[in-house]
A and B are shown apart, each in its own frame.
Chain A
Amino acid sequence: MFVNNDVQTNANDMLERHIVQPNDPQHPIVLATEDLHVFYGKSEALFEGDLQFAQNQITALIGPSGSGKSTYLRSLNRMNDRIATVKGRIMYRGVDVNQPDIDVYEMRRRIGMVFQRPNPFAKSIYDNVAFALRLRGVTGKKKLDELVEVSLRQAALWDQVKDDLGRSALGLSGGQAQRLCIARAIALKPDILLLDEPASALDPVSTSQLEDTLLKLKEQYTIIIVTHNMQQAARISEYTAFFNQGRVLEYDTTSHIFTNPRVQITSDYVSGNFG
């Protein structure tokens, strides 16, 4: 009898959810997903993820591996188009960008992305930043120089590389390479920056530098970051979403999630009892 009851409670816990969407007139919603489902072939990897993201804020997506948080993030700028089927609406400033007639290239310039492993191109540091600009018609050495410098400064890399911009980017350390990738992304002046566990391949010092950088960047960009590291989420984000088994179970301000979670599993996860 007891055992049965226990199972019942657990099953209820699985479905228990607590979603509070941001509501701050200072920071309007710039991106929201509605009724989002992601399928890999026939299997569904994300059942529902209905979140809204506030402008110039950092939102952290946390959860155990395989919980669907990266799948969700990669769907936002349709990086999963070739390998997955994404159903539902992705409302970017009022426009559903998950429609076939949306120009994904234009969309990705507004919703940029930085990946788990630093992936600088096999080009010079300067060209890594300048090259997408050139392809989009930015010409003139002066203009490019200026944009490269601003982007590298914003990514807090300028002081370390300003004397050897012609060097191959493949010679940079992991932390520097990841900053370069951020500089490369913000050179295009995106609206939203998606980061998929950007610090997971970095040492603690580089990680903390990266966090400082992100805190500065949020003044200009809306940031959504997937992270494994709960302290990181707690340190830098205003809002946190907790994913488990393909569902968002709890979404609230970060302080609520970490100090007063409403859902049992979230509480277990943030206190380190599982995951």
Chain B
Amino acid sequence: MKEQSTSVASLERQLKKHSKAAKLEVWGRVVSFSALVLIVAVVVAIIGFVASKGIATFTTNHVSLWDFLTGKNWNPGIKDAHGKPEVGALSMIVGSFLITILSALIATPFAIGTAVFMNEISPNRGAKILRPVTELLVGIPSVVYGFIGLSVVVPFTRSVFGGSGFGILSGTFVLFVMVLPTVTSMSADALRAVPRFYREASLALGATQWQTIYKVVLRAATPGLMTAVVFGMARAFGEALAVQMVIGNAALMPHSLVDPAATLTSVLTTGIGNTVMGSLQNNALWSLALVLLLMSLVFNLIVRLIGRKGRLQ
């Protein structure tokens, strides 16, 4: 009896010893968790730094937020008649929104149409040609789009619509081609997620293929399609170099689509290197970056809202 109780005690000791596996487990958790913390820290740091720099225009230089958002003149180095610096960002904000909305408006029907084609009408050709090509084009660097914009789109706009060729219109064309593969490939994913029996049930009820596509498939995929379009818009809004190369970079209120204009990103890319850290000119640029950052948060939020609504349905 005594012998048995000592053997139980020794087994218990063995089972309660911290094994090598248990030590490795603790180590693994700490290591992998630190990596995750690092990423979160990066996100927080980016938002924190850009925000603190971006609000300096308003806190340190005492520019009114209202003037910044609605002012039409952008000359941070010059003071206007009232002795206030000219830091009206409206022209760039309008420029950014215009090219984003216009390019999304053109790209959406093309992208969804192509996605429908490769998923519903000709899945064979879709899988063999269209899908790999669109996926490949998603990876083409934006400077290449910018260069083609400069050497093909700008001369084309100039000869067809007049003007210098640089402007909102050229920017819209370049962004249209640039977001097209992204939106197409995401739309195709959304359509692929619609269960097969939806289509079969509809066709069995005597609906034509188009009726099935329009009333059943597209409707069921609406949240996914909307997400695709919003993603495309976010990419267009944040694109810097390709737009900067073709838009003409004149921080003026756009009066026509073929006059040189500017976007938040184009002014940022050209300006940051030419201003002195801490000066009003520089702070004003950081405020533009902050607007850009906030808009990307807004796009993110929209995608989330769509996702939530999609799940509720």
Contact = CB atoms under 8 A, between A and B. Distances in A.
A101 B16 CA distance: 6
A97 B11 CA distance: 11
Contacts of B8: 93-95
A107 B17 CA distance: 11
B15 interface: yes
Interface string A88-111: 000011110100011101110000
A105 B21 contact: yes
B245 to A, nearest CB: 48
A132 to B, nearest CB: 10
Contact of A106 (B4, B7, B17): B17
B18 interface: yes
Q: Which of A94, A102, A107 has the most CB of B within 10 A?
A: A94
A101 B14 CA distance: 12
Nearest to A95: B12
Contacts of A105: 19, 21-22, 25
B8 to A, nearest CB: 4
A105 B22 CA distance: 7
A97 B18 CA distance: 14
Interface in B190-233: none
B19 A102 contact: no
Interface residues of B, number: 15
Contact of B22 (A93, A94, A103): A103
Nearest to A137: B20
Contacts of B22: 103, 105
Contact of A103 (B4, B7, B11, B15): B15
A103 B16 CA distance: 5
Interface in A77-92: 92
B7 to A, nearest CB: 8
User: Chain B interface secondary structure, helix, strand, loop or mixed?
Assistant: helix
B2 to A, nearest CB: 13
A137 B81 CA distance: 82
A103 B12 contact: no
A94 B4 CA distance: 9
A41 B36 CA distance: 28
Interface in B1-34: 4, 7-8, 11-12, 14-22, 25
A127 B98 CA distance: 61
Nearest to A104: B22
Q: Which of B4, B8, B12 has the most CB of A within 10 A?
A: B12
Contacts of B21: 103, 105-106
Nearest to A96: B12
A48 B4 CA distance: 28
Contacts of B11: 92-95
B12 A106 contact: no
A80 B32 CA distance: 23
A2 B21 CA distance: 62
Contacts of B7: 93-94
B19 A95 contact: no
Nearest to A105: B21
B25 to A, nearest CB: 8
Contacts of A97: 15
B299 to A, nearest CB: 36
Contacts of B17: 103, 106
Contacts of A94: 4, 7-8, 11-12
Contacts of A136: 20
A240 B25 CA distance: 37
B18 to A, nearest CB: 6
B104 to A, nearest CB: 44
Contacts of A137: 20
B78 to A, nearest CB: 64
A106 B12 CA distance: 11
A107 B19 CA distance: 10
Contacts of B18: 103
A86 to B, nearest CB: 16
B27 to A, nearest CB: 14
A93 B17 CA distance: 17
A103 B19 CA distance: 7
A204 B195 CA distance: 36
A136 B25 CA distance: 14
A85 B10 CA distance: 28
Nearest to B5: A94
Contacts of A102: 15-16
Q: Which of B7, B8, B14, B15 has the most CB of A within 10 A?
A: B15
Contacts of A92: 11, 15
Interface in B262-287: none
A106 B8 CA distance: 15
A137 B20 CA distance: 10
Interface of A: 92-95, 97, 101-103, 105-107, 136-137
10 contacts: A92-B15, A94-B7, A94-B11, A97-B15, A102-B15, A105-B25, A106-B14, A106-B17, A106-B21, A137-B20
Interface of B: 4, 7-8, 11-12, 14-22, 25
Rank and list the top 8 A-B pairs by shortest CB-CB distance, nearest first.
Answer: A105-B21, A94-B8, A95-B12, A106-B19, A103-B19, A105-B19, A95-B11, A103-B22
